[in-house]
Structure 1
């Protein structure tokens, strides 16, 4: 055997022994050699750089001689370090090779260099790999993949990062509008021989309420309410009038408030009311009232309390006007005296105090009670009106109304039976609508 081959064989045996053997302890136990991981990684990276330089030099030489083989024969340099048989076989082979592959020789020489200098980096052997699965040696040529494009996707246009957005800021609307209307009918038939007497009659009453309120949710509010009612009735006993009014009113209530506390407001209240047409009595030609006869205007300065109770089922307001100015105008001069105007005048002015309470109690979803208590006094005369309307909804558009209206006015002539009290009441069934 050639002495050179014997020397290489001895070196390989030493490398194998150094790579497999471990440092033995005092009692023959195997102790792993402690190595610095960072140094190992650095040394491995340095070896890879050196290998790449050698491979590049080989490729340059092959390109110079016109023999370029860009294939995957360099994988051993970059795969986990494995002890392959070919580097040692090529060194120990006796007969000269007929086919020389410079790339394979360079890779084997590089692997042998690593085996001799850094045997501790060898993680696996070719024998173990063959037990797991054979190594493919049949691939001699590089594998090229043909990629077929089915659809060519066009370039996506660049879009600006910030897209301008049109912002529209609306001014808050502090106004709320509402209202309700109703038309009620009543028919009463009594035969002429009815044992208790009486007469047949027909009656109708219509009402409309409109509201327009302003509240800026800070300190200012402005409330407006317009109420209109007009009713007629007929009776056989009245030979002078085919029909006459039984309910006639036009009333406006306005309040301008400046908030003092959570529920109290400093308030200026305006109250104005008159009627649509003439007021008559059965079998009497005399006209007792008419449009603008009288017309009442009341200005009150005071405090207003906002009511909200019973889980918001009871709502409304209570207005106390400590200083109130009342103006009364009677267009028909011959009616002036009966409405408190003295002398040959059309007007009456006086000062006093007033109380106005307006509440709505939603007892159930079908029953609602609306009440208004108004009182005015000059400390010489007094006027008290208490209007009560109980509405019972039969359906969404059909309802029954019960209206009860007691009134006290000591400026009028005293009646023997009722004293200064007056009273009105009716019950009706008809149409109603809220909006």
Structure 2
């Protein structure tokens, strides 16, 4: 391979490094030709072919310790003419042109693997590294006792009570009177949705039933003293922090027939009457006196009222025209539903409902004062005035009606 090197002087266009490299090849050529003449051209040409041993001739000039050691040793080649010729060429460069040497084998040992010049490099001997993408390390999950739950915007609560009153009067009691037993039970269930942003939906179902015995009533073993089945639903969109645009639905009727002492006439019954009121307005959330007084105030300038009476005989009694089952009218409505907790043992619940068509008006004001003795025993005082000028006027009370009772017994709240 060294015979094919051009003998023409280097052109000025070559870089300094190239010039030095060509000079080294020129010096190697003359010494290589001399080595060939010493061992015979025929034998050298027969065995000459490119090997890794020739690498020092073509790499940047480097001082190899092994070459100087083999050259100075006695009988080290054992008729290895190729390696001896190459070593002679490199030694000639070391002695005649030391200025061409750029680095040493010791320096190569520091900066990287040394170049092996004594062994032929073949593809079988190459140590190829198989590059495999590193496997992603999965993080280890540790349980710190933290649980994440999906937000639940629904809340549920309820109130229950069952109370009774027993009154015994002997036949010869000097003031007269009669013995009787009475019992009253009430259940209030609420399911409310509030996403704490814009939407609120409230649902409340109230059921109340009171029964009483009377020895003076020969026609009825039991009569109702309290009878209520009422649903209140509200759907609101928040306008401000305290105000909501609200649609409210009220529907109420009763469970059983209503009688008077020793009277066979039925004065009320299930769906006689049944009242449904649908109103559109605004709600105000009440949180006064450190949240001791809470509730809502509903003001609706537009309201539709539907009244139904299943017994035609009761039509005129409840403000309907004779022979008609239904009454439809439009007016305005307001509802106040508040709870005032005075202490852990005493609270006041009040509901004020008013509806008017500007021709007739209905006003109901329910008040319940509760004395809570412990978790399960309580006493209630119930006061309920009512105004309705759509009915016949009474000679004593006019359009006003009034109900009141007191009871004590079992109660429970969720």
Under a length normalisation based on structure 2, what TM-score does the superposition of the two structures give? 0.65
2:406 equivalent to 1:427 = yes
CA offset at residue 165 of structure 1? 6.5
Structure 2 residue corresponding to 1:288, chosen from 260, 267, 270: 267
2:370 equivalent to 1:368 = no
| Partners of 1:237 and 1:260 in 2: CA distance | 58
2:233 is matched with which residue? Answer: 254
CA offset at residue 191 of structure 1? 2.4
| Partners of 2:179 and 2:395 in 1: CA distance | 28
Unpaired runs of 5+ residues, structure 2, are 1-135
| Partners of 2:341 and 2:347 in 1: CA distance | 5
1:98-177 correspondence runs (5 A):
162-164=139-141, 170-177=149-156
1:313 is matched with which residue? Answer: 292
| Partners of 2:358 and 2:171 in 1: CA distance | 50
2:219 equivalent to 1:220 = no
| Partners of 2:413 and 2:366 in 1: CA distance | 20
SS in 1 for 2:241: coil
| Partners of 1:298 and 1:313 in 2: CA distance | 30
CA offset at residue 285 of structure 1? 0.2
1:181 is matched with which residue? Answer: 160
Aligned length: 277
Under a length normalisation based on structure 1, what TM-score does the superposition of the two structures give? 0.62
1:153 is matched with which residue? Answer: none
2:171 equivalent to 1:192 = yes
2:67 is matched with which residue? Answer: none
Deviations 1:213-258 (A, max 9, x none): 0000001100000000001001111111011100000000000011
Report the more deviating stretch, 185-194 or 307-316.
Answer: 185-194
CA offset at residue 174 of structure 1? 0.2
Contact 2:159 2:188 in 1 (8 A): yes
1:10-409 correspondence runs (5 A):
162-164=139-141, 170-409=149-388
CA offset at residue 261 of structure 1? 0.8
CA offset at residue 334 of structure 1? 1.7
Deviations 1:260-289 (A, max 9, x none): 111011000000000001011110000001
| Partners of 1:378 and 1:194 in 2: CA distance | 51
Deviations 1:371-419 (A, max 9, x none): 0000111101111100000111111101001001011111111112111
Contact 2:230 2:252 in 1 (8 A): yes
| Partners of 1:399 and 1:244 in 2: CA distance | 24
CA offset at residue 344 of structure 1? 2.6
Unpaired runs of 5+ residues, structure 1, are 1-158
| Partners of 2:316 and 2:157 in 1: CA distance | 39
CA RMSD, Structure 1 to Structure 2 (Å): 1.7
SS in 1 for 2:172: coil
SS in 1 for 2:364: strand
| Partners of 2:256 and 2:139 in 1: CA distance | 69
